[in-house]
Structure 1
Amino acid sequence: MASTPSTVPTVQLRDGEQIPQLGFGVFQVPPEETVEVTLRALETGYRHIDTAKAYNNEAEVGQAVRAAGLAREDVYITTKCFNDDHGHDQAKRALHASLERLEMSHVDLYLIHWPVPSKDRYVETWKALVELQQEGLTRSIGVSNFQQAHLERIVAETGVAPVVNQIELHPYLQQPGLRREHADLNVVTEAWSPLAQGAVLDDPALVEIAERHGVTAGQVVLRWHLQLGNVVFPKSVTPSRIAENFDVFGFTLTGDEVSAIEALDRGERIGPDPDTFG
């Protein structure tokens, strides 16, 4: 499959790199389905794939990229260092192992998946990621599920801020305080579970906005993320939904509609609490 110019805007990262703002997530996609699903996403036009060691499908993501016939530089690949690989040497070994599974010489973004404060090794792990970037094994480095205190500590102890923090973020959990911290540190917000695993799709306010634009509630939520400046990567294994989630650039939410979505914030997580998980 030849590469075609993408309609997806990119977001500038603090290290000078750029990241496609809309990507495709493979969390909870079974390994046996990952090649087909990821290939379909790439054929749809996605050029940013978010995987992780913990998802057990890195190898299949790599296979899909090669099956698509795309040049390596045309696909943005993120993977993550999981909780059992915290520590300097362990984290460095973990990225080497991920690269072997992906069959790639580098990833575009490597993240600490969770801070795991109970282990208190995330600073040491972050120092390893700084070295991995210097070694050229990852173009950019970031974190996932870090709270404000975790972010402030790694910056204070290393002088290096992450380019992104990937956090649970959707209309029912908007995390305005943490997003302000990101803005202060020039850290891009990435949203995982951007549709709250479907929990928001029947919300009357979102349905009403969707009807006004002739789109679905899911498209409204993804458009909201994009207009906030978030990097977002919805996950689906359904071909029609994969295409639908990509078709979010033909309309714009008004200020009043954005305000109506902001009013839906309940502070409700569907995932684990980063202060205690791991």
Structure 2
Amino acid sequence: MNYTKFHNGNSMPSVGLGVFRVENNDVAKDAVKHAIQSGYRSIDAAFIYGNEVKVGEGIAEGIKAANITREDLFITSKIWIDDYGKDNVQKAYEKSVNLLGLDYLDLYLMHWPGTDLDLLLNTWEGMENLYNLQLVKNIGVSNFNIDHLEILINQANVKPVLNQVEFHPYLTQTELRNYLSKHNIKMESWSPLMNAEILQDETVNRIAKEINKSPAQVIIRWNIDHDVITIPKSVTPSRIEENFEVFNFSLNDDQIKRLDALNENKRIGPNPAEFNG
């Protein structure tokens, strides 16, 4: 297991389980439990996913089954745009914590920047209050582009530890990655497998054959080799295990370059400059 260190001295696992578009039922619970039993220590949730109750049950059962403690895990959730505003942040945070059945979160993110930049800054003040009160271990953002980050960093007292964004070989986000690196903010990728679309790519499959790994393992390793934290989603036990077996190999420079060359600036999610919930 690899860990990535934040600018505040805390760290998080470089690979975790995503639960976007998983129903709030035993499928979610069992996926989270199996991931923890398989060695995952990071679970990425969000209020808007509507499945925090079952994800929380999976966390509780996973802790028991793996014979670990809550402190061994790194749990993320996110505040949705409807709850933005400095005075709403703590309420929204406590709602997620309660739904998950936890006492605290390791990371809380603003889910999207939104189009109201004053509201963005006002909400970040609430995030800072949460952090300063030591109710949450780390705070960060999701889907922020450079313009959003410039506005935030110029006003913030506490810099985000992380920006979770869309990132895969068809959207390599080089400029954003360089910006984040310069400001010592970590990048994390959501939906790194593009809902399995990238797994059909010829170059990805050729590299997978070269190193005798699966296409998914190639993509997840490509994230790690770019120092990008990643949270592939799966509810299939064998895939959950496969996606985690990425720490015993690396891609060589040529393979990384070939994957980087696939960039088309293609998004599968909304444009962060325009999306408002």
Tell me the TM-score range normalised by the shorter chain.
Answer: over 0.9
Query: For residue 232 of structure 2, what is the aligned residue in structure 1?
Result: 234
For 1:172, what is the secondary structure of its paired residue? coil
Query: For residue 4 of structure 1, what is the aligned residue in structure 2?
Result: none
Query: For residue 253 of structure 1, what is the aligned residue in structure 2?
Result: 251
Q: For structure 1, which runs of at least 5 residues remain unmatched after alignment?
A: 1-7
Query: For residue 5 of structure 1, what is the aligned residue in structure 2?
Result: none
> Are the equivalent residues in 1 in contact too, given 2:128–2:157 (CA < 8 A)?
no
Shift >6 Å, 4+ stretches? none
Q: Which moved more, 1:159-168 or 1:258-267?
A: 159-168
For 1:179, what is the secondary structure of its paired residue? helix
Alpha-carbon distance in 2 for matches of 1:132, 1:250: 38
Check 1:272–1:200 CA distance in 2 against 1; reply closer, same or farther (3 A cut). Answer: same
Alpha-carbon distance in 2 for matches of 1:120, 1:57: 30
Alpha-carbon distance in 1 for matches of 2:249, 2:161: 28
Query: For residue 132 of structure 2, what is the aligned residue in structure 1?
Result: 134
For 1:186, what is the secondary structure of its paired residue? coil
Query: For residue 60 of structure 1, what is the aligned residue in structure 2?
Result: 54
TM-score by length of 1: 0.95
Q: Which moved more, 1:180-189 or 1:110-119?
A: 110-119
Give 1:62-77 correspondences, 5 Å limit: 62-68=56-62, 69=64, 70-77=68-75
Give 1:147-158 correspondences, 5 Å limit: 147-158=145-156
Alpha-carbon distance in 2 for matches of 1:240, 1:95: 33
Alpha-carbon distance in 2 for matches of 1:193, 1:65: 21
Give 1:1-278 correspondences, 5 Å limit: 8-32=1-25, 33-68=27-62, 69=64, 70-118=68-116, 120-278=118-276
Alpha-carbon distance in 1 for matches of 2:7, 2:181: 11
For 1:107, what is the secondary structure of its paired residue? coil
Number of aligned residue pairs: give it: 271
Alpha-carbon distance in 1 for matches of 2:254, 2:40: 30
Alpha-carbon distance in 1 for matches of 2:234, 2:136: 26
> Are the equivalent residues in 1 in contact too, given 2:2–2:247 (CA < 8 A)?
no
TM-score by length of 2: 0.96
Q: For structure 2, which runs of at least 5 residues remain unmatched after alignment?
A: none
CA RMSD of aligned residues (A): 1.0
Query: C-alpha displacement at 1:98, in angstroms?
Result: 0.9
> Are the equivalent residues in 2 in contact too, given 1:145–1:165 (CA < 8 A)?
yes
Alpha-carbon distance in 2 for matches of 1:103, 1:244: 28
For 1:199, what is the secondary structure of its paired residue? helix
